[in-house]
Structure 1
Amino acid sequence: MELPEPDTASDDAMDSFLDKFQSQPYRGGFHKDQWEEEFEKIPLFMKKAPSEIDPKKNPDLACLQSIIFDEERSPEEQARTYKGEGNDYFKEKDYKKAVISYTEGLKKKCADPDLNAVLYTNRAAAQYYLGNFRSALNDVTAARKLKPCHLKAIVRGALCHLELRNYVEAVNWCDEGLQIDATEKKLLEMRAKADKLKRTEQRDIRKAKSKEKKEQNQNEAVLQAIKVYFEDEDRAELYQVSPKSTLLQVLQHPRYSVKALTPAFLVCVGSSAFCRNYFRGRKVHQVK
């Protein structure tokens, strides 16, 4: 068997390259004083991606980003990419960026209802940790419209109702979730807590109403007991003021007189001993 003749042209090219490589310094290497910083710029070895990608400073990372978020990919592929990005931010507890990523995924309006339900539910979780309980509740409500039996959405919705002190709604959501999975531990715990808080709230409302009614009755009793009069000194007669009268109406009475620019009235408890003694032998008129 004859051996192939060696390719002398390729050998010469390789020898030339090696000679050049040995005689000239390599220009693509790291600088010894800042090699760690330069090493960190390589996407494969980055410990943490920059929050804002500058194509001039991180051309490799910018290139990868353009490939990942290529608009020519299907809406479903793009939505999944944003979901994955949001999940990464969520794991890093960067909930604001997680919300942005999930929102971008929803903007793709893909035709997969399950994927959209997950995006809504995940965004609800991020909103919850940001303290945006109403926004989180809106998201899980939207997720349930797409997927009524989505247990995670139900759990997070019940949790939001608890935070918002909507205890009746929290119990209802827990009951709906337990119809899907009667052994779901979180729902069982939340339902017990929500039911207890609901009963406590209802008891406090009853106490508050009872106290308010009692105070109202006391005030009415005091108002009925208190009598207001003004005196006609010239005739030594008293006029009892109707509780419905205004100050202007009383001041306009022909027998009322103002002294030292200050209106004066006699206020006393009608059933008191003082009142009985003071009015003994005096004529009292009713002011209508």
Structure 2
Amino acid sequence: MASPAILNDSDDDDVFAEAFARFKYKNAFDEDTWEEEFDKIPMFMKTVPEEIDPKEYPELAHIQAIIHDEDRTPEEKAQSLKNEGNEFFKEKNYLKAIVAYTAALKNKCGDQDLDTVLLTNRAAAHFHLGNMRSALNDAAAAKKVKPGHLKALIRGAQCCIELRNFVTAIQWCEEGLKAHPTDKKLQDLRAAADKHKRAAERDARKAKVKENKLNNEKEALMAAIKERGVKLLQPVKPRQSGSDGEDDDEGSSTAVAELSLDGLSSHKATGAQVFLDEQNSLHWPVLFLYPEHQQSDFISAFCESNSFLDHFAVMFGEELPPWDVDRKYHLQNLQLFFEDEERETLYKVDPETTLLKVLQHKRFFVKVGTPRFIILVNGSSFWKQYLTGKKMQAL
């Protein structure tokens, strides 16, 4: 087994020196001109130059600008802040660029050319941040100062396209093309805005056709329900306690609904809703309850012309429900009921009866869009207990 290598202090120093030599520090002073560069830093200057070039002495120029700020004209201040904003913009620091341009505009220098540039520059910064409304406002303000300003017109059109206001975008482009008829950018924006406009109009027409179709289907559905005399029941919120000087009963009550989709809200709870097929037959979502086992069955589309026996033959055919541990829910043992909650009465339904006939019964109410029925095993101990004290009628 090879012994691990042992490095002493001198070895470590050599490794560090070799790495330091390979990776040269960036932004450092140049080896040949470091004294001259060092002398340009205000803190270490031996003498201050008579004329200060901002490009050669940027730090010193900033310091002097701060010291002599009160001596500068509003135009000089605005120009300085514009330059500062431009530097931030180049660095993609758009928030700071907006602050600088805004400060420059507050100087109100009166130079229309400078104000227009400041507004279009700030519009560009807002545009890159996704502030389309603010960018459009700045472009409009710049256009107001100089109506034919190309950059303002281009930026305004771009903002309108991003805001999906294609008609206004076309207006910006056409206004710009009057002043700059050969500008390629405005021509391209005009073409793009027109293409988007036509696509939006096409989508709006399709949506309108779809909406009309849906409304017609809803009207036909409600007409079919009304024609059959089916009564819809929906929950009604109780009034607040103390209203009109009386206390309402606790809990929500129910009321027969006007024939509207408000009474057909089962779609939200079950994902199914009554629908009308091409043969003008209604298909209802139907719920079967087994109170003995606290279980239920759900049929999403029970055709009104089908009998309950049609479905029971499938539900309780060769394979009984897994929760029926006593194996007693055979077809011949079952009894079917619906409950009139208001009168606290159970109505016994012959399984050979069609769904439509039950729905048309004067005491059957479709609650929240879903007819519901109770299934019991005839003669069982639970059957006797459940029916004790209840009113019962045959359909």
TM-score, normalised with respect to structure 2: 0.47
Residue equivalent to 1:81: 80
Q: Tell me what 1:220 maps to.
A: 219
Q: Which residue of 1 aligns with 2:209?
A: 210
- DSSP 3-state at the match of 1:208: helix
* 1:64 alignment partner, one of 37, 48, 61: 61
Aligned pairs, how many? 217
* Partner SS for 1:128: helix
User: Which residue does the alignment assign to 1:258?
Assistant: 341
**One-letter amino acid matched to 1:160:** C
Higher normalized strand content (fraction of residues): 2
SS class of match (2:341): coil
RMSD of the alignment, in Å?
A: 4.1
* Residue of structure 1 in register with 2:121 after alignment: 122
1:141 equivalent to 2:140? Answer yes
Structure 1: 4+ residue segments shifted above 6 A: 35-38, 259-264, 282-285
Structure 2 distance, partners of 1:80, 1:228, is 79
Aligned AA (1:97): K
Residue type at the aligned position of 1:200? A
When normalised by structure 1's length, the TM-score is 0.62
| Distance of 1:114 and 1:214 partners within structure 2 | 56
CA contact (8 A) 2:233 2:255 kept: no
Q: Which residue of 1 aligns with 2:13?
A: none
Deviation at 1:112, TM superposition (A): 1.3
User: Which residue in 2 is equivalent to 1:4?
Assistant: none
Which range moves more in the overlay, 86-95 or 157-166? 86-95
| Alignment partners' CA distance in 2, 1:262 and 1:92 | 79
What pairs with 1:18-37 in structure 2 (closer than 5 Å)? none
Where does the alignment leave 5 or more consecutive residues of structure 1 unmatched?
Answer: 1-30, 45-59, 230-238, 267-273
Corresponding residue for residue 196 of structure 2: 197
Match of 2:178 in 1: 179
Deviation larger for 74-83 or 96-105: 96-105
Whether the 8 Å CA contact 1:167–1:198 is kept in 2: the answer is yes
Q: Contact 2:232 / 2:256 at 8 angstroms: preserved in 1?
A: no
Q: Deviations over 1:92-113 (max 9, x none)?
A: 3222222122111111111112
- Using the alignment, how far apart are the partners of 1:263 and 1:36 within structure 2? 102
Report the alpha carbon displacement of residue 145 of structure 1 after superposing the two structures with TM. 1.6
Q: Which has the higher helix share?
A: 1
Counterpart contact for 1:228–1:241, Cα < 8 Å: no
Shift of 1:137: 0.9
Give 1:64 deviation, angstroms. 2.5
Q: CA contact under 8 A between 2:41 and 2:59: conserved in structure 1?
A: no
**Kept after mapping to 2: 8 A contact 1:133/1:164:** yes
The alpha carbon displacement at 1:227 in A equals 4.6
Q: State the partner residue of 1:54.
A: none
Closer, same or farther: CA 258–41 of 1 in aligned 2, 3 Å: farther
Residues 86 and 262 of structure 1, relative CA distance in 2, 3 Å threshold = farther
